[in-house]
Structure 1
Amino acid sequence: MEGNVRYYDPIFKENAVLLSHKRETVLETAKELDITPKMLSKWRCIYKTFRKGSFPGRGHKRMYHINSKIFELENKLTESQLRLEILKKGSQYIHQGKQELYNFIYKNRKKYLISKMCEVLGASTSTYYSWTQQPFTKRETRVHLLKKEIVSVFFEFKQHHGSILITRELHRRGYQISDTQVSFWMKQLGLRSKVKKRFKVTTDSKHNLYTSPNVLNRQFKVDRPSKVWVSDITYIQIDKRFLYLTVIIDLYDRKIVGWNLSSGLSTVTTIIPAWNMAVSNRKILDGLLFHSDRGVQYANKVFTNILDGYKCTRSMSRKANSIDNAVSESFFNSLKRELIYSQKTLLTPKEMRAEIFEYIENWYNKKRRHSALKYKTIEEFNAEI
């Protein structure tokens, strides 16, 4: 009957087989262990085939000994990979306080065992369960929300804002927080703005054309639009070659009023298209001061005639003195740090044009906060006038 069926422990079965090889007969061993000779003989046959994998226990499949070793190693490998995965995802929260660490464990409780996460991350399982039963304090809630908002602003502004700019953005959103606090939380969260990289100067000033004196004389702050425009050209590497970006900036609000991306460095493909865009975007007032470097694109007769036609005053940086055109240089620094150097692969001309358009028209001219405007966007600055 089913109720009289006896179940034997796997260790008992293996020991029974080993003992039978030491006795003279199977019958003698079976009698000693109070089992049937037929059953013992069956166990001996199984053990002869599977060895250590003969008796895995109820619900488990028999396997050859060599396979069981592989299975054991695979389990250990899986365990190690799991621990590494938990550590990679959770290590950043270890030094952010128990709230952040326990919050990570709570969010991943359906993916990993809670006990395993606590073990790997050095957290107390009992303390974690106590934490789940207790609500956040007001201060903890505020800190948690501030951290989330700091992270949100950091990535919204493409990982290029430091603590000061992020603080200004948080103030605009209604948060009361200091630069020091934001800097502290950024360090704790591991948020670092991308570092500037230097780029080569490409100005060709070795020509016999007329160059103007430095009328601007580094007076970069002006009191009305279209009083001073500054311009410069830089190179941008793309797939297999270069493109050249020309910009015209109004010093009043730092807006890029004209720009052009070209495959050549002639006047017709650089400054003239940028100029045409600028005069269509912003009305020129009498006496506009136009400042640039000594590049041939700005000094040649074609472009100087255009400036004379608009009754503009010409101004040029002194030779080998990029600081005289610092605002343009600063823009190119920002462009290359925030856009160009973040590209993992070289783009096609079409892709780069789309990226430059997005950066200038939708980011720099609309959303980016400028220290020269007291950390306001260009639109916010002009709205206050």
Structure 2
Amino acid sequence: MGRKSPYPVEFRNDAVALFRAAGGRRTYAAVAADVGVTGETLRSWVRQADEQAGRAGNGEVASEGRDEELVRLRAELGRLRKAEKGVGTRAGDPATGGPVFRQGDEGMTGRWDFISVHRADFGVQRICRILGVSRSGYYRWLVDTEARQARQVADDALVAEIREIHTGHKGTYGVRRVHAELRGFGHTVNRKRVERLMRVHGIEGRHLRRRKRTTVPDRLAPPAPDLVQRDFTAGRLDEKWCGDITYVQVGGTWLYLACVMDICSRRVLGWSMATHMRTELVVDALTMAVAARGGHVAGVIFHADRGSQYTSAAFAQVSDYFGIWRSMGRVGSSYDNALAESFWQGLKREAIPGVFATVSQARLEIFQWLTYYNARRRHSSLGYLSPIEFERQHQRGHRLTLAA
């Protein structure tokens, strides 16, 4: 009998669904890199899933295939609507504050063009006098024509790269992350220039929506002390973790999501999704986080709110078994768990377009974003590195320090 996999069944199933959703456009190795496993491991999971589906019956397999294809097509349509220029609502409207609404450059440029066209018939001096402009201004404009055209060509090329980055990250990146991505590609470009071009061309990241309360405190359960005290910094990995529960709407019901994040690297080590908010939701997320660290987590501080799931005896028992110190903020204070709250805001802004049609669609989109977040998404508090890249550099620096 083979060794038991350290990865939860939920995680393996979501990884298989992510590979299948690519429809053959991505290799095992590419998907596995985002998920955080080897390509051969992912290949074996897909093979096992195919074998189980074959035993379940061909009719069910065909139905699941149609559902996955429908989910993929809906997700692709949503991405195209956000990324394709001119498709979105009011996409043809000129940008607010752009040249169409501003007197100045465009008006003067039109006058300079008029002078150039009619100068041979009426003379520059007469036309400038009638239009109320200076001849020196017109001649300066002529001298700067080549430089102006070169700037326009450079701006057009930069806008094309900005659109590619914006589309590649599903329309989620705003000015700061687009600027960081350009710098990461070796471009020396001013952030204000990126901001201007994105504003003029109507390119923007996603914005936040309203929240729904999910923390239901258990007044009778004894709370753990607050060991974090709103200090969401850590000098090393696995010093402090934090976690929380959020929700997404699926049709007329809800899908709940629990996560565990390393405060030092902002990496999401564990998560779990279910249509309920029972204690096993947070226990599964914590167990996955422990497995991600190889089981060696004794002494880690885990900070959460005082929701009934985190104050339950079952969660306390699991935490004690792994040697994890529980920490809790006050009731009704989002600032006491601000890092987790900020993470949920990013998830809902970037990965959730609205109401999902099916649970499988919601799981796939959320799982895809979580793996993208860990492996590729640049984080402002990490010097615009992704969490996994930050961990690699952090561990490399630690090894060099020990060697010295």
User: Structures share a fold, TM > 0.5?
Assistant: yes
Residue 354 of structure 1 is matched in structure 2 by 364
For residues 116-127 of structure 1, what are the structure 2 equivalents within 5 Å? none
One-letter amino acid of the structure 1 residue matched with residue 198 of structure 2: M
1:208 paired residue number:
220
Q: 1:128-207 residue pairs with structure 2 within 5 A?
A: 137-207=149-219
Identity %: 31
Q: Work out which of the residue numbers 256, 260, 263 in structure 2 matches 1:248.
A: 260
- Structure 1 residue runs of 4 or more that deviate by more than 4 Å after TM superposition: 88-93, 95-98, 134-137
* Local SS of the residue matching 2:326: strand
**Counterpart of 1:332 in structure 2: which amino acid?**
W
The aligned residue for residue 270 of structure 2 is 258
User: Which AA in structure 1 matches 2:377?
Assistant: R
Within 1, Cα distance between the matches of 2:334 and 2:359?
A: 28
How many residue pairs were aligned? 264
Matched, 1:364 2:364: no
Shift of 1:211: 0.3
Kept in 1, the 8 Å contact 2:175–2:204? The answer is: no
Quick one: distance in 2 between partners of 1:236 and 1:139?
45
Deviation at 1:91, TM superposition (A): 6.7
Report if aligned partners of 2:223, 2:328 keep a CA contact under 8 Å in 1. yes
The unaligned stretches of length 5 or more in structure 2 are: 1-86, 101-112, 118-145, 395-404
Decide whether the 8 Å contact of 1:96 with 1:189 is kept in 2.
no
Aligned partner of residue 298 in structure 1, secondary structure: coil
- Note the aligned Cα RMSD (angstroms): 2.8
Residue identity matched to 2:324? C
SS at match of 1:299: coil
The letter for the 2-side match of 1:360 is L
Per-residue CA distance 1:94-142 (angstroms, 9 max, x = gap): x9889xxxxxxxxxxxxxxxxxxxxxxxx99x99xxxxxx999543332
More off after superposition, 292-301 vs 194-203: 194-203
Which structure ranks higher in relative contact order (CA pairs < 8 Å, sequence separation ≥ 6)? 2
What amino acid is the match of 2:307?
G
Letter in 2 for 1:142: A
Determine the C-alpha separation between the residues in 2 that align with 1:221 and 1:135: 48
Corresponding position of 2:248: 236
Q: Which residue in the other structure is 1:274 paired with? A: 285
Compared CA separation, residues 265 and 91, structure 1 to 2 (3 A): closer
2:193 maps to amino acid: Q
User: Structure 1: how far apart are the matches of 2:373 and 2:91?
Assistant: 34
Which secondary structure state, in structure 2, belongs to the residue aligned with residue 297 of structure 1?
Answer: coil
Maintained 8 Å contact 1:150/1:166: yes
Q: Name the structure 2 match of 1:9.
A: none
Counterpart contact for 2:238–2:264, Cα < 8 Å: yes
CA distance in 1, matches of 2:147, 2:217: 68
Q: Give 1:202 shift.
A: 1.1
Q: CA deviation at 1:224?
A: 1.4
8 Å CA contact retained: 1:213, 1:318: no
> How far apart are 1:89 and its partner, in Å?
8.7
Query: Partner letter of residue 353 of structure 1?
Result: R
Gaps of 5+ in 1: 1-84, 99-122, 128-133
Q: Secondary structure at the match of 1:236?
A: strand
Q: What residue is the counterpart of 2:60 in the other structure?
A: none
Larger Rg: 1
